[in-house]
Amino acid sequence: MKIPLIIRTYDGARLVSLEHTRVAPGEIAVLVAGQYFDPMLAGAITMVELEFVEDPDPRKRFFRIGTDPEAMRETVPLPLKSERNT
């Protein structure tokens, strides 16, 4: 079974590439290592962002790997409906 995945690469805050693909879950690490680690080590990109399109949880939907922490954002927990007082 393949899952939809959006892969974005950045150089600082500038979007370098955007790819829509479908990948078997066991092949994601091989894909990222094979295509994006060399450009990151060479300084052509500073971050790879994976968006798991079908994951409804915003805390799990995005995964970022990078060499420039200033361009990366920390996740912010969102209160669930059951945790709200309204």
Number of domains observed in the structure of the chain = 1
- Provide the pLDDT for residue 13: 82
Cα(66)–Cα(70) distance, integer angstroms: 10
Is 23 inside a domain boundary?
Answer: yes
Is 12 inside a domain boundary?
Answer: yes
Is 76 inside a domain boundary?
Answer: no
Is 86 inside a domain boundary?
Answer: no
Is 77 inside a domain boundary?
Answer: no
- Provide the pLDDT for residue 12: 85
- Provide the pLDDT for residue 65: 87
Is 80 inside a domain boundary?
Answer: no
Is 60 inside a domain boundary?
Answer: yes
* Per-residue tens of pLDDT for the chain, all 86 residues: 999 999 999 998 889 999 999 999 999 999 898 999 899 889 899 989 999 999 998 888 988 888 876 666 655 555 665 554 54
Cα(74)–Cα(58) distance, integer angstroms: 12
Domain range spanning residue 10? 3-71
